[in-house]
Structure 1
């Protein structure tokens, strides 16, 4: 039985124009996403600009998200940090505040040996929350292939993997070679992931279009491919930004277009240039202005 089924949103961290964390806006965004039907919330991940937050800010972001969710959906925290000790301490804090799980990258600062990856995840598992291992070989130095995932799965609390390699074939391999639950990790393979066995999806552009995202994923899980494609093909130009280095800027800009602004990104992330903004706007408008199928 899946521990993290459905659509989870890796949420942004809203900032004021002075780059201060806007905790009220954060709570409102969590509440809105839940009202739109998402199945879970993930604060303090890459989309949440965790690396640009102070330790105190990150803790308050996590606590704010948990309080705003108020038990209506699970809150799974992003736990990436420079050292295993910092990761474990953050998980302990989140567990105390009521988090339901943790999304955990391998060591992020250098290319670790396999035994270091395994030791890291053993410590993460021992921290006491269900773990979604996060495989992102594009932005980090480790590719968690099925053989390694199978070794990690021996730890009690490691139950799932967010698969962000961008190769949908990897989902088949993981499901064949491990007993881990698979969550699609990249937005522009969310439908395909659901069709081949992913029971969940952790999305970024879901911050902008949560209702459509949930609908696509549920239709795909039900095998209703034609109906899912009626929506998904129009979302894809926007969803492609999820796999690029400017994903947070694209998400926050799209939120502004949608009337749910979350402020700027913190440096070193800078605002998109004019041409990039126009391209994001075109993708957003293509998604929201798609023709609606008339029911017969």
Structure 2
């Protein structure tokens, strides 16, 4: 039995027109996602623009999401920060606030040696919450390979990995070599990942299309290939934006198209060119099977 099975949404953070965090909107948005059937929520990730938040804002975002979830779904909190000391501080805050688990990058500021990576995850394990290690070798210097994950997984509370390498073969290698659960971390491998044995999906586009995202992943878990492929091919053009550096602006715009406007992004992320938004809009309507309104 996986600790965190199903579709966990890596939350966008709502801002108002003055780029202040809109906590009321965040609470409403979380409740909407839960009502639409998502299995869990994750504040504090890169999609939530955690690096742009003041410390007091980050505290309140986590506490707002946990309050909004009200025990209906688990909340896993992102702990990204420059130092292990800061990471474990955020982990302890998450635990005290009532989080069910942690999503934790390896050291992010330079290319660490193996013993430093292991010490980092040992410190996280010692906090006492289940930890999903986050492998993203595209944006950070460390690749959590299956062999390295085998060593990391020996710490008591390291229970899984968010696999964002983009190579679905990693799912098989991790499941073969470790005792960790695998959560797919890149949207455009959600279906293949589920078919390959991933028990969870830390998702981006389901901020805007939670029902479709949950249906797709559950088709994959059940091996319902024909139904899954038909839906997957409609969603795939949108999923590609999740693996793009402009994923935050893109997914916030998708949420707006879905009637869940969460406001602008904070600089350095700025609005995208009009033709970029036009492409997202066309792909969104293709996924929904609707005509584009002028």
TM-score by length of structure 2 reads 0.98
Instruction: Give SS of 1:47's match.
Output: helix
Partners of 2:283 and 2:58 in 1: CA distance:
31
> Which residues of 2 match residues 103-182 of structure 1 at below 5 A?
103-182=103-182
Partners of 2:167 and 2:17 in 1: CA distance:
38
Question: Partner residue of 2:85?
Answer: 85
Partners of 2:35 and 2:149 in 1: CA distance:
34
Partners of 2:120 and 2:109 in 1: CA distance:
13
| Shift, 1:232, TM fit | 1.0
Question: Partner residue of 2:202?
Answer: 202
Q: What is the number of residues matched between the two proteins? A: 291
Question: Partner residue of 1:268?
Answer: 268
Partners of 1:156 and 1:116 in 2: CA distance:
18
Contact 1:185 1:201 survives alignment (8 Å): yes
Question: Partner residue of 1:102?
Answer: 102
Partners of 1:134 and 1:91 in 2: CA distance:
14
Q: 4+ residue runs of structure 1 moved beyond 4 angstroms?
A: none
Question: Partner residue of 1:224?
Answer: 224
> Which residues of 2 match residues 254-265 of structure 1 at below 5 A?
254-265=254-265
| Shift, 1:290, TM fit | 6.5
Partners of 1:244 and 1:141 in 2: CA distance:
18
Deviations 1:7-48 (A, max 9, x none): 000000000010000000000010000000000000010110
| Shift, 1:87, TM fit | 0.7
CA RMSD, Structure 1 to Structure 2 (Å): 0.9
| Higher alpha-carbon deviation: 272-281 or 157-166 | 272-281
Contact 1:75 1:101 survives alignment (8 Å): yes
> Which residues of 2 match residues 21-100 of structure 1 at below 5 A?
21-100=21-100
Contact 1:10 1:203 survives alignment (8 Å): yes
Partners of 1:277 and 1:217 in 2: CA distance:
26
Partners of 1:284 and 1:240 in 2: CA distance:
12
TM-score by length of structure 1 reads 0.97
Partners of 2:93 and 2:246 in 1: CA distance:
30
Contact 1:234 1:290 survives alignment (8 Å): no
Partners of 1:183 and 1:258 in 2: CA distance:
25
Contact 1:103 1:134 survives alignment (8 Å): yes
Partners of 1:154 and 1:220 in 2: CA distance:
29
Partners of 2:61 and 2:41 in 1: CA distance:
12
Partners of 1:75 and 1:264 in 2: CA distance:
24
Question: Partner residue of 1:3?
Answer: 3
Unaligned runs of 5+ in 1: 292-296
Partners of 1:113 and 1:93 in 2: CA distance:
27
Partners of 2:273 and 2:53 in 1: CA distance:
24
> Which residues of 2 match residues 240-259 of structure 1 at below 5 A?
240-259=240-259
Question: Partner residue of 1:294?
Answer: none
1:185 aligns with 2:185: yes
Instruction: Give SS of 2:137's match.
Output: coil
Unaligned runs of 5+ in 2: none
